[in-house]
Structure 1
């Protein structure tokens, strides 16, 4: 069966979709039997990728959800579109109404079966649920891992603290991805929020622009001059695959981290090459 990784936030718009796309682009190609991951837009408030890339309205999340209650619902991958930078995605249409209904169908047993696939299916589903709420609780319970995305400032991290992450049933499967500048050390964030894995994803305007345009491109994910976001996303992906985080100081030379990157032996996952840096 496929691995299910749910990505979401507790407030604001910190970049959940961008994080999901970066993870998919940076996913190690030798994992999951060579099966590429698929991003699924499952935000009840509506999707963005269909408009961003000028895709047709079908196939989309609505097709997947409509088939979820059928005895033979078909393949999730049959509804996937190929994005210009080599990532597969099941996109959602804009609009709260139809997307909210589709997400509710995904939370049913039939919907979860479509996401997971058959016993023989391999790969990873990166499920972008947007802002967390009661409507996606069944998906959080089903997930192998939950990636919470937050900005690195005092205000968003305070909102995260008030959310009560440590008390959630899935907290042990949770990873916090901090986007952009952060004045706090990873062990401080982990201890305060009650989460064992913290990763940092740097601002990287050039890579985000490459993931937003219609021009076909290849995103470098290893080797010399790897973009900062891709290096960090690759390390985060490796941590998710390992189910235990990336030990401090064990990111591999191919991730091309910046010299002097901060480490923390108290936090299993510390993926920042340029924590707090702008590019």
Structure 2
């Protein structure tokens, strides 16, 4: 299965969620690919070198002798995740574009035998990472459950949905005032799970803290539930049947006073 994790505005924790999904996938062998054209962060966060990584994988799309086996470009992160690390700066954008133009077949082949999680950063019209999202079986879109940010998501669905061959899910990140049911009704996109704000779990996967039991924290349990729900969808939906965009951009309205408050994470 090929799983893409992205956002359309802000920085709600895309990379951290992608690492968590790869680490907590219920079946062994899941790998992570940093495909954010804005540049990779994991190599610096965990004290690695960006090579081998995305640049070599992109080069393999032009020169097959460079190794089109995804395993040749992996590095093991301290949190137990095998990852294709992206370089910083403009080098990442060039590598993502090469991969989008020539390398989706490599990703699809790798996803045929194990789960591949793509960290795509922010999606924009015409961005090279949008083509990678379009090749995915499942696309997770992170957004804070606040009116302004969710309306920004709704305004982008008309150009985003036609580019996706797989299924789009929304993942509310952090605390907010908009209940899950209202998000689904207004945007027409199902919520597969929410990830709470975390003082310990998320920083552990960002290389900021060493928290050996992060999987048992509320953040880790929430991400594990999302991974299990995604794994349960296999076999993945057939590619080539994009979802249709809504006729008009959906707009969320302020919740009524009786709306249930978001519980603080434990």
| TM-score category (smaller protein) | 0.7 to 0.9
Moved more, 99-108 or 72-81: 72-81
Provide TM-score, normalisation by structure 1.
0.77
**1:87 matches 2:74:** no
2:184 aligned to 190, 201, 207, which one? 190
* Partner SS state of residue 155, structure 1: helix
- How many residue pairs match? The answer is 236
Q: Quick check: 2:31–2:116 contact (8 Å CA) kept in 1?
A: yes
Deviation string, structure 1 residues 28-47 (Cα, Å, up to 9, x no partner): 1xx3xx3x211111111111
Who is 2:228 aligned against?
238
Give the RMSD, CA atoms, in angstroms: 2.4
Within a 5 Å distance, the mapping from 1:183-222 to structure 2 comes to 183-213=177-207, 218-219=212-213, 221=215
Query: Match of 1:113?
Result: 105
2: CA distance between counterparts of 1:66 and 1:167?
28
How far apart are 1:196 and its partner, in Å? 2.3
- How far the C-alpha of 1:171 sits from its partner, in A, is 8.1
**Range that drifts further, 169-178 or 61-70:** 169-178
Matched position secondary structure for 1:177: strand
Partner of residue 21 from structure 1, selected from 12, 19, 22: 19
Q: Distance in 2 between matches of 1:164 and 1:187?
A: 18
Structure 1 gaps, min length 5:
245-273
Deviation at 1:140, TM superposition (A): 2.2
Pairwise CA distance, 1:68: 1.3
Match of 1:174 in 2: 168
Listed as ranges, the matches of 1:51-200 within 5 Å are: 51-71=44-64, 73-95=67-89, 97-108=90-101, 110-117=102-109, 122-133=113-124, 134=126, 135-164=128-157, 168-169=161-162, 170=164, 173-200=167-194
Instruction: Report the more deviating stretch, 67-76 or 196-205.
Output: 67-76
- Looking at structure 2, the residues matched to 210 and 22 of structure 1 have their Cα atoms a distance apart, in angstroms, of 10
Gaps of 5+ in 2: 235-260
| Deviation at residue 117 of structure 1 after TM alignment | 2.5
Cα distance in 2 for partners of 1:277, 1:63 equals: 43
Partner SS, residue 164 of structure 1: helix
Match of 1:253 in 2: none
Shift of 1:190: 0.7
- Take 1:166 and 1:277, find their aligned partners in 2: how far apart are those partners? 34
The yes-or-no answer on 1:46 pairing with 2:39 is yes
Distance in 1 of aligned mates of 2:51 and 2:173: 32
